[in-house]
């Protein structure tokens, strides 16, 4: 407010620069306009996600089948529970932030300190949860085979339950070893090799009568198509090219590689915003503790970082809907 801005002595003149038609300080207004531009960046990402999804509308991965894990509850299928928890943590930290802003209006230093601290803790819990989510996604679950056309073949039993590669494929002796920088051609390396070859998966499928192939294609009820036994073997033998476990930017056991690309890009960009929000909050927290705003008689800086922090929460609400729900 006025105490933080140098007075120019022109406040009374309409065109002198002291006029505030929007009744908001320069800093706060610029934070709002930054938020507008950042919102457009995020909507660009989400709209691009929508583009890819409409492009592959009949073969897009089903988020409920991808994000089913909760820490410490290993092996249980609990779709969305963990993301809902993350959403709640972020909304809760938004609440503590707005309480800090409110306490700032009453110039109550002790309360601002406490609420800023709780906000930072909430942010750290969220970023940690997201790291765990990423690790689970990258590690993968059941494994799949990618075809020549880049489609994913997954495996189910006759009841329609997913079957992991490790449950029916036996790994043989592999002659091929991973190329590292220190051996073979100097300074050339490659990613981790898949634990099985396509031939081993074919053998495994031949031996287990009750296992079928499931393609990416969605039927009219939104379920993925399960092939018959003969078609399963035929599809795998003719088109199977690469065994995939987990996800990276090139391949993805859950379906279209674009799904993983957008997951990494959008949640990564959002996570980066949360991380920078936590860093800015920590800086402001120390300023509060040192009494900078107490001496200034204005906690407007808390309000400005608060706007940014709420914006991060706002973006997550949309990411949650378009990545996990819709």
> Quick one: angle between helices 300-319 and 268-290, nearest 10?
160
Query: Is residue 280 close enough to count as binding another protein by CB under 8 A?
Result: no
Distance CA 45, CA 266 (A): 7
- Beta partners for residue 4, in sequence order: none
Q: Which is nearer to another protein, 164 or 218 (CB)?
A: 218
Binding to another protein, residues 146-165 (CB under 8 A): 147-151
Q: Does 105 bind another protein (CB under 8 A)?
A: yes
CB count within 10 Å of CB 274 equals 23
Rule CB under 8 A: choose which of 27, 98, 179, 202 binds another protein.
Answer: 98
Residue 143 beta carbon to another protein: minimum distance, rounded to whole angstroms: 21
DSSP H or E stretch at residue 46: helix 26-55
DSSP for 131-174, please give it: HHHHHHHHH-SS-EEEETTS-EEEEEETTS-B--GGGT------
Q: Residue 190 Cβ, how far from another protein at the closest point, in Å?
A: 26
User: Does residue 125 touch another protein according to CB under 8 A?
Assistant: no
Compute the least distance from the CB of residue 325 to another protein, in Å. 5
Q: Does 32 bind another protein (CB under 8 A)?
A: yes
Q: Does 95 bind another protein (CB under 8 A)?
A: yes
87 is an interface residue for another protein by CB under 8 A: yes
Note whether 80 binds another protein by CB under 8 A: yes
Q: Min. distance of Cβ 56 from another protein in angstroms? A: 7
Confirm or reject binding of residue 4 to another protein (CB under 8 A). Answer: no
Scanning 4-12, 20-28, 160-168, 196-204 for contacts with another protein by CB under 8 A, the matching segment is 20-28
**194 within 8 A of 208, measured Cβ to Cβ:** no
User: Using H for helix, E for strand and C for coil, what is the string for 104-125?
Assistant: HHCCCHHHHHHHHHHHHHHHHH
Q: From the CB of 194, what's the least distance to another protein, in Å?
A: 21
Using CB under 8 A as the binding rule, whether residue 114 contacts another protein is answered as no
- Long-range contacts of 317-325, Cβ-Cβ distance < 8 Å, separation of 24 or more: 317/87, 318/42, 318/46, 319/46, 319/266, 319/267, 319/270, 320/83, 320/87, 322/46, 322/49, 322/50, 323/49, 323/63, 323/262, 323/263, 323/266, 323/267, 324/63, 324/67, 324/80, 324/83, 325/63, 325/80
3-state SS, residue 89: helix
Residue 139: half-sphere exposure toward Cβ, Cα within 13 Å: 9
Stretch that binds another protein, among 41-49, 173-181, 182-190, 289-297 (CB under 8 A): 41-49
Q: CA 59, CA 70: separation in Å to the nearest integer?
A: 26
Which residue in the set 11, 13, 88, 291 belongs to the binding site for another protein (CB under 8 A)? 88
Q: Which stretch binds another protein (CB under 8 A): 22-30, 171-179, 182-190, 271-279?
A: 22-30
**21: CB partners within 8 A, 6+ apart:** none
Q: For residues 233 and 206, is the Cβ–Cβ distance under 8 A? A: yes
Candidate segments 116-124, 156-164, 216-224, 247-255, binder of another protein by CB under 8 A: 216-224
**One character per residue 43-62, x = contact with another protein (rule: CB under 8 A):** xx--xx-xxxxxxxxx----
Q: Which of residues 294-323 bind another protein (CB under 8 A)?
A: 306-307, 310-311, 313-314, 317-318, 320-321
Q: Which residues bind another protein (CB under 8 A)?
A: 21-24, 29, 32-33, 35-36, 39-40, 43-44, 47-48, 50-58, 64, 79-81, 84, 87-88, 91-92, 94-95, 97-99, 101-102, 105-106, 147-151, 217, 221-222, 239, 306-307, 310-311, 313-314, 317-318, 320-321, 324-326
């Amino acid at each position: 407010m006025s105490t933080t801005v140098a007075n120019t002595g022109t406040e009374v003149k309409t065109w002198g620069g002291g006029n505030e038609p929007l009744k908001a300080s320069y800093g706060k207004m610029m934070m709002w306009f930054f938020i507008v531009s950042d919102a457009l960046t995020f909507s660009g990402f989400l709209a691009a996600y929508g583009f890819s999804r409409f492009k592959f509308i009949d073969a897009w991965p089903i988020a409920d089948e991808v994000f089913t894990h909760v820490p410490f509850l290993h092996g249980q299928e609990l779709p969305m529970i963990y993301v809902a928890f993350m959403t709640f943590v972020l909304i809760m930290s938004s609440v503590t932030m707005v309480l800090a802003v409110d306490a700032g209006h009453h110039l109550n230093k002790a309360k601002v300190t406490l609420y800023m601290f709780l906000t930072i803790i909430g942010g750290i819990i969220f970023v940690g949860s997201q790291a765990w989510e990423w690790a689970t996604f990258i590690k993968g679950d059941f494994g799949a085979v990618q075809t020549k056309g880049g489609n994913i073949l997954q495996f189910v039993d006759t009841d329609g339950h997913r079957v992991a590669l490790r449950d029916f494929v036996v790994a043989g002796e592999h002659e091929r070893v991973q190329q590292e920088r220190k051996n073979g051609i100097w300074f050339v390396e490659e990613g981790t090799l898949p634990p099985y070859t396509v031939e081993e998966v074919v053998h495994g499928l031949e031996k287990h009568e009750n296992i079928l192939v499931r393609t990416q294609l969605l039927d009219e009820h939104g379920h993925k198509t399960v092939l018959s036994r003969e078609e399963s073997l035929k599809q795998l033998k003719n088109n199977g090219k690469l065994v995939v476990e987990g996800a990276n930017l090139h391949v993805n056991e859950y379906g279209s590689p674009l799904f993983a690309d957008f997951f990494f890009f959008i949640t990564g960009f959002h996570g980066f915003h949360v991380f920078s929000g936590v860093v800015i909050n920590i800086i402001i927290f120390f300023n509060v503790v040192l009494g900078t705003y107490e001496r200034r008689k204005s906690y407007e800086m808390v309000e400005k970082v608060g706007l940014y922090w709420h914006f991060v929460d706002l973006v997550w609400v949309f990411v949650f809907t378009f990545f996990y729900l819709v």
